[in-house]
């Protein structure tokens, strides 16, 4: 009678059309049961959407408790999704709530005028279909460094920390072609980098290519990409970015592994971002020959580990080497 995503409901249903002496199988195949289920779903959606419109403060108080059920309902029931999608709330870094339409509007306001003009020239008729990125936090503790960066530079991001959120945002992306969710530590330089002239961009690109070979050789990581960017502030010196696609694929592989399906390990596509404003990075850029010296290698290894430690704690041998290297540098 009640859809599984609304099992937290309590109440009584008055319906004279159902016989008293029935079996479970008869009930499941009874047309009235389906009608009752659809009606309950419709009334719940109308109640919640009405609260969002007229009693927003009360709706926000309930939201954290009911959000996993509502999101699950959106995934399972197309009619429920149609009524509720625009009334799903997202909590931003300032602990304020906004709906999906409000979130999209914020994103439009953040697009610079010159960007939209240049894109119109490049994309022609499809300029209006610009991909709008929404950055999100999946773990407030592990991603605290990135949260601080975003707050410092007044960048927008939302909290999506429930297990249901990963399939939920995939569903939203499928239904909104111009919308793209990106974790706060994925391609972070796009949100944090400063404006550069075309000449500066070319210089930093060339510098990154040279340093990439040195880092790959030293760390024995052929797949590691290295980019030099001018971030908005002098710190941090380095950041490690994992592409959203690569990370989602890894999460999916973990889920399959948990369900007992044998899955091979998937190498992550990592990008080490070096902040051109930081003195350590400037030293490497000015003294290209230093990348082959002992002190240069110490700096490179330390920059990589400092970037890694902002994403997750180092473990085992990696932590042992980091401590030993830090002592040596001191």
pLDDT band for position 123 (50/70/90)?
A: very low
Q: Please give the full DSSP string across 83-96, using - where no structure is assigned.
A: HHGGG-EEEETTS-
The pLDDT of residue 259 is 56
Distance CA 115, CA 124 (A): 14
For residue 235, which phi and psi values (nearest 5 degrees)? -115, 155
Distance CA 25, CA 35 (A): 16
Q: What is the mean pLDDT of the chain?
A: 84
What value does the mean pLDDT take over residues 131-159?
A: 90
As a whole number of angstroms, the longest Cα–Cα distance in the chain is: 88
Distance CA 169, CA 174 (A): 9
Contact 159, 89 (CB under 8 A): no
Residues in the chain: 330
Could you give the C-alpha distances from 245 to 51, 56, 152, 303, in angstroms and in order? 36, 35, 27, 25
Per DSSP bridges, beta strands 132-137 and 179-183 are: parallel
177 versus 115: the higher-pLDDT residue is 177
pLDDT in tens, 158-174: 999 998 999 999 999 99
What is the number of other CB atoms lying within 10 angstroms of the CB of residue 266? Answer: 14
Distance CA 226, CA 295 (A): 19
3-state secondary structure 46-87: HHHHHHHHHCHHHHHHHHHHHHHHHHHHHHHCHHHHHHHHHH
Distance CA 323, CA 275 (A): 23
pLDDT in tens, 229-266: 998 888 889 998 888 887 788 777 776 665 555 544 55
pTM for the whole thing? 0.80
8-state DSSP, 269: -
């Amino acid at each position: 009678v009640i859809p599984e995503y609304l099992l937290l409901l309590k109440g009584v249903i008055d319906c004279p059309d159902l016989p008293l002496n029935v079996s479970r199988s008869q009930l499941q195949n009874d047309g009235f049961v389906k009608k009752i289920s659809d009606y309950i779903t419709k009334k719940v959606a109308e109640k919640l959407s009405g609260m969002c419109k007229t009693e927003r403060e009360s709706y926000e108080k309930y939201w954290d408790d009911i959000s996993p059920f509502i999101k699950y309902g959106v995934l399972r029931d197309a009619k429920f999704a149609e009524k509720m999608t625009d009334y799903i709330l997202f909590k931003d870094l300032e602990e304020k709530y906004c709906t999906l339409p409000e979130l999209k509007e914020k994103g439009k306001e953040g697009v610079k005028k010159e960007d939209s003009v240049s894109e119109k020239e490049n994309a022609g008729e499809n300029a209006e279909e610009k991909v709008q990125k929404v950055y999100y936090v999946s773990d407030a503790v592990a991603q605290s460094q990135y949260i601080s960066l975003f707050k410092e530079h007044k960048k927008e991001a939302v909290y999506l920390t429930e297990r249901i959120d990963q399939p939920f945002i995939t569903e939203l992306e499928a239904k909104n072609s111009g919308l793209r969710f990106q974790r706060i530590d994925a391609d972070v330089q796009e949100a944090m980098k400063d404006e550069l002239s075309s000449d500066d961009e070319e210089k930093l690109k060339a510098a990154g290519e040279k340093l990439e070979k040195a880092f790959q050789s030293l760390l024995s990581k052929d797949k590691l990409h290295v980019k030099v960017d001018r971030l908005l502030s002098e710190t941090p010196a380095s950041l490690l970015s994992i592409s959203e696609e690569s990370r989602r694929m890894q999460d999916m592989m973990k889920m399959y592994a948990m369900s007992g399906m044998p899955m091979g390990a998937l190498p992550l596509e990592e990008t080490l971002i070096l902040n051109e404003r930081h003195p350590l990075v400037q030293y490497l850029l000015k003294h290209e020959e230093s990348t082959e010296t002992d002190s240069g290698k110490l700096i490179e290894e330390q920059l990589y580990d400092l970037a890694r430690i902002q994403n997750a704690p180092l473990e085992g041998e990696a932590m042992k080497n980091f401590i030993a290297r830090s002592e040596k540098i001191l």
